[in-house]
Homo-oligomer: A and B are copies of this chain.
Amino acid sequence: MAEKIFIVEDERQIARLLQLTLEREGFKTAIESNGRRAYERIIQEKYDLILLDIMLPEMDGMEICKRVREVSDVPIIMLTARDEIRDKVEGLDLGADDYMTKPFAGEELLARIRGVLRRHNERIRNAEETRYVVKNMILYPDRYEVTVKGEKVDLTHKEYSLLKYLVENKRNVLSRDQILQTVWGYDYIGDTNVVDVYISYLRSKIDDKFGEKYIHTTRGVGYAIKD
């Protein structure tokens, strides 16, 4: 699918040139010359990348960048005249992903655009990782990691698997047999209290350490994790 690039530039010549360069490479484009209108369009429509000039009528590029960043991570590349070097720095501070100084070579622009898009896609893919939230505990299954109040908790493999099983079934009481089957892979139910022991380990590393009750016992039945 072709990415849609929004060109915010009040100099018609430059805007047109950009548009031709991009469309020749298969991108879709839209152009806007007025700052305030550009901001509104960015908010309301969906673009995959914004090329943003700094000097614009009604609202300048810095201001647009700042405001857009309050609500969106859409990739932004700032376009600056060569002598506005101070602006470069400031633009990056405002959350732009990259910048280009005018005049620029088409190849360099395309390379930067591809780079920014690639990094952005990676960011999204990584950010999509699932996580399970219970109170202030977060379990990240892909990372094999658990944090409580932002602090990493060190768990052994069995401890982690047990916690994961509980968290995946938040609120439901799981019997020792269910747990043995799922976490330990036992298929006949022996005479062991290993589940109880591991519950105890988890509690000392989580409940006790952070002074909150996560793991609940239902006598005669099993264990459950709850908010």
Q: Which residues of A contact B (CB under 8 A)?
A: 13-14, 16-17, 20-21, 24, 43-44, 46, 68-74, 87, 90-99, 102-108, 111-112, 115, 120, 123-124, 127-128, 130-131, 133, 135-136, 138, 142-144, 147, 149-150, 156-157, 169, 171-173, 212, 218-221, 224, 227
Contact = CB atoms under 8 A, between A and B. Distances in A.
A172 B219 contact: no
Given A46-B24, A127-B169, A133-B94, A72 B156 contact: no
B150 A71 contact: no
Contact of A128 (B69, B106, B111): B111
B102 A115 contact: no
Contacts of A14: 70-71
Which 8 pairs of residues, A with B, have the shortest CB-CB distance?
A: A157-B220, A73-B105, A95-B227, A111-B128, A90-B150, A144-B173, A142-B172, A93-B135
Given A71-B103, A73-B103, A171-B143, A93 B227 contact: yes
A143 to B, nearest CB: 6
Interface hub of A74, A99, A171 (most chain B Cβ within 10 A) = A171
Given A72-B17, A98-B133, A133-B97, A224 B143 contact: yes
A219 to B, nearest CB: 6
19 contacts: A16-B43, A20-B46, A24-B46, A71-B102, A72-B104, A73-B105, A90-B138, A90-B147, A91-B150, A94-B227, A99-B133, A108-B124, A111-B124, A115-B130, A143-B173, A143-B224, A144-B218, A144-B221, A156-B220
Given A17-B72, A99-B133, A156-B220, 5 more contacts: A14-B70, A70-B103, A93-B136, A105-B120, A108-B128
